[in-house]
Chains A and B, each alone.
Chain A
Amino acid sequence: MDALFDSICSPGGACDVLGVWLAALLTILVLTYLIHDSFLFRLASSLLVGTAIGFASAVVVHRVLWDLVVAPLWADLPNWFSNTWALLIFLVFFCFPLWLRLAPNSRATTWSNLGLAYLFGIGAALAIGGALSGILAPQLVATMSVSVSPQANGWDWLNGILIVVGTLGAFLTFRFIQPGNRPWQRVYDVITRTWGTVGRGFIMVAFGALLAGLIFARVSALVGQLYFLIHDLPATLFK
């Protein structure tokens, strides 16, 4: 397919010009939503879904199913799968039964649970490891290494205190524990609840900053698409 494409399309040739036109048309189709949720917008969204499905499935089939399943089995076929029998058993017990899910209410779908259990087991283990080493430990270390010593620069010291207070406060916002009846438990509850309220302010500031970043990125994307329509497209047209 690529050899055929390369023989027809040279870099910077007609295919690229056609591509720019197609990209401009698709951009306009999507932006028609600003006027009305029309047939053209749905056409563009359907095309996006179809393209994404086709691309993802082709990459998965080529990279995983062909390279890791079909190619080894095909190479081992003359030996009657003497080296790939474990892969065959794995496919029979964990992979093919997943397709039984397409037949709803079938008792055989219980078989498909084996594959899902395998996937969930791996997912949970990777999630725990990732959360521990990728989020929890680095964030704790970063919070604990903040300088709160009064000897430091006054402004840095204040910022350090704010970071520690804000981090703990934001964390305490998600505390949903009923207080006990003992006096110290009630005092503890009042302290953590108040601190959590302060933390909610820090969370809102974080959300505001995140929203601003999001708006900035989206506006940049919009400006980029409009620039493409106003600048790149005429440049291609009048080249």
Chain B
Amino acid sequence: MILWGINFGVLFRRQILSVAIAIGVGVVVLLGQFISNATLDNIVGTLLGGGAIVAAFALLLGLANVILFHTKRIVKRDAQMPFSILILASALIVFLIVLPSGGTGSASLWVLRYIYQPLETSFLALLVFFIATAVYRALRVRTWEMALFALSAVVVLIGSAPFMQIISPWFSAAREWIVNVPALAGARGILLGAALGIIATGLRLLTGIDRPYSE
């Protein structure tokens, strides 16, 4: 496809256009975070607004994929068909209830308070048992690292219990020390490493070395 003397077919095939857009948009937004300038702020604001629209379309694409997946299951009369019907029906009903107010109306809040929140909290509560199983399995590996891990977890758990402060203030003090000194140091080292990793990955994207959008 040649338009205004530019062969867009070649640009698309070789992903030149995609890379140029990723680099151009990324560099402008990055500059906008470090340079204070009214014009640049306006451009960055417009780009971020566009990003919100693209992200919304991408999210809807994901939702469309979910709907397609469950519709196929229903058409095939799969063994999981009742659950697919429930997912689609509940999604449609909640969508129709929430859409007019955008999530702030009294009907939306009722759905959130009496359906979504109890389900979510119960699932989170259920995780206690999975965590307990995982910890038990982890503690079977007898290394000095696991000993430190277990000691730290036990002291922080016991020190966090309100009644332990009545029995002995030592546990609370030990918990405070672990959280504020060794755990803080460990978490800080991890955060520094993670931040450098994020920056390196971002720079690889902005220089076109990594191109996950063209796969």
A residues sitting closer than 8 Å to B (CB atoms) are 1-2, 4-6, 9, 15, 18-20, 22-24, 26-27, 30-31, 33-34, 42-65, 68-69, 90-91, 94-96, 98-99, 101-102, 110-111, 113-133, 135-136, 139-140, 142-143, 159, 162-174, 199-219, 221-222, 224-225, 228
Q: Contact between A205 and B148 (Cβ–Cβ < 8 Å)?
A: yes
Q: Which of B145-177 contact A (CB under 8 A)?
A: 145-146, 148-154, 156-157, 160, 177
Name the distance in Å between A143's Cβ and chain B's nearest Cβ.
6
Q: Contact between B92 and A54 (Cβ–Cβ < 8 Å)?
A: yes
Name the CB-closest residue of A to B121: A221
CA distance in complex: A101, B191 (Å): 36
Q: Is B86's beta carbon under 8 Å from chain A?
A: yes
* Given A121-B26, A127-B198, CB of A54 within 8 Å of CB of B100: no
B interface, over-half SS: helix
What are 19 contact pairs spanning A and B, CB under 8 A? A1-B100, A1-B101, A30-B122, A48-B116, A51-B91, A94-B50, A99-B64, A113-B214, A125-B33, A127-B201, A131-B202, A162-B185, A167-B185, A174-B193, A202-B185, A211-B153, A212-B154, A215-B157, A224-B125
Count of interface residues, chain B, beta-carbon cutoff 8 Å: 128
Residues of A with C-beta under 8 A to B18? 113-114, 116-117
Q: Which of A47, A96, A165 has the most CB of B within 10 A?
A: A47
Q: Contact between A118 and B185 (Cβ–Cβ < 8 Å)?
A: no
* Given A51-B91, A209-B152, CB of A95 within 8 Å of CB of B53: yes
Q: Is B3's beta carbon under 8 Å from chain A?
A: no
Shortest beta-carbon contacts, A-B, top 3: A170-B189, A166-B185, A208-B152
What string of 1s and 0s marks CB contacts (under 8 Å) between B29-40 and chain A? Answer: 110011000000
Q: Contact between B114 and A22 (Cβ–Cβ < 8 Å)?
A: yes
The answer, among B12, B47, B105, for a CB contact under 8 Å with A2, is B105
Name the distance in Å between B61's Cβ and chain A's nearest Cβ.
5
B residues sitting closer than 8 Å to A (CB atoms) are 12-13, 15, 17-19, 21-30, 33-34, 47-61, 63-66, 68, 83-84, 86-103, 105-108, 110-129, 131-132, 135, 144-146, 148-154, 156-157, 160, 177-196, 198-199, 201-203, 205-206, 212-214
The answer, among B56, B118, B145, B153, for a CB contact under 8 Å with A65, is B56
The answer, among A57, A68, A211, for a CB contact under 8 Å with B52, is A68
Q: Contact between B189 and A54 (Cβ–Cβ < 8 Å)?
A: no
Residues of A with C-beta under 8 A to B102? 58-59, 62-63
Q: Contact between B148 and A201 (Cβ–Cβ < 8 Å)?
A: yes
CA distance in complex: A186, B202 (Å): 32
The answer, among B127, B177, B201, for a CB contact under 8 Å with A218, is B127
Name the distance in Å between A122's Cβ and chain B's nearest Cβ.
4
Residues of B with C-beta under 8 A to A110? 12-13
Q: Contact between B47 and A122 (Cβ–Cβ < 8 Å)?
A: yes
